[in-house]
Amino acid sequence: AKYSWVDKDTCIACGACGATAPDIYDYDDEGLAEVIYDGDGNHGVKAIAEDLYDDLQDACDGCPTDSIKIADEPFNR
């Protein structure tokens, strides 16, 4: 399984990830990205569906600040 969260301390609110993977990433009131998939709340605990893995990787690769974290285990943040 794959899990993800966004480090808002380094996110620059560029808007790329939500455009690339709108089912996984959305933005808070300040425009900073967060994982909204399956009600994750940016905790990195919801297993992302396999059909979204390409979007997940594309968003991660496209983040200019490497703020998108991905792992095979839940982050439990």
Could you tell me the two tokens for 10?
A: 């380094």
Using CB under 6 A as the binding rule, whether residue 11 contacts ligand SF4 is answered as yes
* Segment near ligand SF4 (CB under 6 A); pick from 14-22, 35-43, 48-56, 69-77: 14-22
Minimal distance in Å, beta carbon 60 to ligand SF4? 9
Between residue 49 and residue 68, which ones bind ligand SF4 under the rule CB under 6 A? Answer: 63-65, 67-68
Q: How many CB atoms lie within 10 A of CB 45?
A: 17
Is the separation of the CB atoms in 16 and 58 below 8 Å? no
Minimal distance in Å, beta carbon 22 to ligand SF4? 12
**C-alpha torsion sign, points 35, 6, 77, 44:** positive
